[in-house]
Amino acid sequence: MQLREFIDKNKKAVLAVLPAVIGASLLLGWHNLHHDDLAGAISRTFFSDDDGKTYFADDVSKGMTFDHDGKPAYRAFVFRSDAKGTYVGLLARPCGDDSPTANTHRPTTSVPVPAGGSKTVPPVAFDIKKPGDAKWVVNSGPDGQAMARAAAADGAEQVLPE
């Protein structure tokens, strides 16, 4: 009731300030709706074309896999820990024809970027594997979740390109 009492006592001041507050709110909402400022957004990520033995940074808009000097390059999740140093913990690819989730969970969305282009966000479900393993598993399944936890074990932190 204190707010109501304040408004009743100061009707002229409230009526003078209220349009400015509403106008500022509308202006802020319009600005956020029409200006997708992604300054500081991730524009580069790591990939590996030799099953995680080495990795390199490239443009995230290339997707999860692309041809790199005639070899498939897969998205590489790079980690750093005191115990292991810096290493590729996981490789990722879109769900493929041999994936347990083939033809499912493949939605992608486009995120507008300031230059007017778009970047493709990785699918909700994708395949992952440990470097050196032959078997790909779905990231959202129990095997994939266990693999992701193991890749970042022992206090490892994910490393991003600078």
- 121 part of a folded domain: yes
Banded model confidence at residue 104, pLDDT cuts 50, 70, 90: very low
Helix orientation angle between 11-34 and 2-9, rounded to the nearest 10 degrees: 110
Q: Which domain holds residue 151?
A: 44-159
- 49 part of a folded domain: yes
**Per-residue model confidence (pLDDT) at position 122:** 45
Please give the backbone phi and psi of residue 106, each rounded to the nearest 5 degrees, phi first.
-110, 20
Q: Looking at the structure, tell me whether residues 15 and 82 fall in a common domain.
A: no
Spatial distance between the Cα atoms of 67 and 11, rounded to a whole number of angstroms:
68
Q: Looking at the structure, tell me whether residues 116 and 72 fall in a common domain.
A: yes
Q: Which H or E run includes 145?
A: helix 142-151
- 59 part of a folded domain: yes
Banded model confidence at residue 17, pLDDT cuts 50, 70, 90: low
Q: Is the dihedral of CA 158, 139, 66, 88 positive or negative?
A: positive
Q: Looking at the structure, tell me whether residues 24 and 66 fall in a common domain.
A: no
Angstrom distances, CA of residue 16 to CA of 5, 7, 74, 97? 17, 12, 59, 64
The two tokens of residue 90 are 């996981």
- 39 part of a folded domain: no
Q: Looking at the structure, tell me whether residues 13 and 49 fall in a common domain.
A: no
Banded model confidence at residue 11, pLDDT cuts 50, 70, 90: confident
Could you say which DSSP state residue 146 is in?
Answer: H
Q: Looking at the structure, tell me whether residues 87 and 145 fall in a common domain.
A: yes
Look at residue 42 and tell me whether its pLDDT is greater than 90.
no
In the chain, count H helices and then E strands: 3, 10
Q: Looking at the structure, tell me whether residues 87 and 53 fall in a common domain.
A: yes
**Whole-structure pTM value:** 0.62
Q: Is the dihedral of CA 53, 59, 65, 67 positive or negative?
A: negative
- 55 part of a folded domain: yes
Look at residue 130 and tell me whether its pLDDT is greater than 90.
yes
10 Å CB burial of residue 114 (0-12, 13-18, 19+) is: exposed
Q: Looking at the structure, tell me whether residues 17 and 50 fall in a common domain.
A: no
- 77 part of a folded domain: yes
Q: Looking at the structure, tell me whether residues 82 and 108 fall in a common domain.
A: yes
Q: Looking at the structure, tell me whether residues 7 and 55 fall in a common domain.
A: no
Q: Looking at the structure, tell me whether residues 66 and 146 fall in a common domain.
A: yes
Q: Looking at the structure, tell me whether residues 17 and 48 fall in a common domain.
A: no
Q: Looking at the structure, tell me whether residues 91 and 18 fall in a common domain.
A: no
Total count of domains within the chain: 2
